[in-house]
Amino acid sequence: MTDIRVLVVEDEPLLAEAHAAYTERVRGFVVVGVAHTARAAVAALRANDGGDVDLVLLDFRLPDLHGLDVCRALRAAGSSVDVLAVTSARDLAVVRTAVSLGVTHYLLKPFTFAAFRDKLERYADYRAQALADGEVAAQHDVDRMFATLRGTAGHSLPKGLDAQTLNRVRAALADGSGPGAGLSATEVSAATGISRVTARRYLEYLVTIDRAVRTPRYGTPGRPEVEYRPR
């Protein structure tokens, strides 16, 4: 699958640089531009009909226009580019308007890299499903697409698993895995502070939902061990 192309829109140069660096750390994403004003963002997206950008990381508090006005301008121009709001705006009216304008995620500042990565990974999952050929087979397929964007509901996890710990395991797996190498349950346990048995349960769950791959780890003394890598 080709990388998801991202335009970062942030008026503070240091924050723009940080958001771009965060984006480049997430597998499958690449920054194709940075804009510090609303007008620069709209101009970049209108060039080539926005075909060079898949996702906009949009700050709402811009010096020339509000981020919602950027969304309105894009939709009025017929652009279907996806928007992830990265903002400190907490007004519920702003949030409701963002939803009505098709903003896929809303991430409040300040945030951790783990929270940022979770939003991007969920967006990538949603995009992969949305771009698949054919039709949805049933209502549950539609529900799964929306659930991917909104996050994993606690009741949808197997008994004994919770979303917060699952996200910690996923983060540890993403941080600790490298090309051709993964992490064992013991290593995930050490990285997250949960027991090895619990780590293995979460890792096996990720394998069952096709979010991780289990492979034998060769060359270890004693009983053969398996390792896990994010898919």
Name the pLDDT band for 150 (thresholds 50, 70, 90): low
Distance, CA of 58 to chain centre:
14
Positive/negative CA dihedral, 33, 34, 40, 46 = positive
Burial class (CB in 10 A: 0-12, 13-18, 19+), 5: middle
- Say what the pLDDT of residue 155 is: 43
**Dist. CA 85–CA 89, nearest whole Å:** 9
Q: How many C-alpha atoms does 71 have within 13 Å on its Cβ side?
A: 23
- Own/partner pairs for 103-106, CB < 8 Å, 24+ apart? 103/58, 103/71, 104/149, 105/149
From CA 42, how far away is CA 34, in angstroms rounded? 12
SS3 for 153? coil
DSSP 73-97: HHHHTT---EEEEEE----HHHHHH
Mean pLDDT of 10-19: 96
Across 109-170, the runs of DSSP E, i.e. the strands, are: none
Kind and range of the H or E run holding 12: none
Q: What is the pLDDT of residues 23-76, one digit of tens each?
A: 999 989 999 999 999 999 999 988 756 578 999 999 999 999 999 999 999 999
pLDDT in tens, 122-145: 898 888 877 776 676 677 667 767
Residue 136 is predicted with a pLDDT of 64
pLDDT-derived band at 161 (thresholds 50, 70, 90) equals confident
Does this model's pTM top 0.75? no
Longest distance between any two alpha carbons in the chain, whole Å = 64
Q: Please state which CATH class domain 163-230 belongs to.
A: mainly alpha
Domain ranges of the chain: 4-150, 163-230
Mean pLDDT of 196-207: 92
CATH superfamily of 4-150: Response regulator (3.40.50.2300)
Output the six-digit token pair for 105. 């995620």
Residue 9 pLDDT: 97
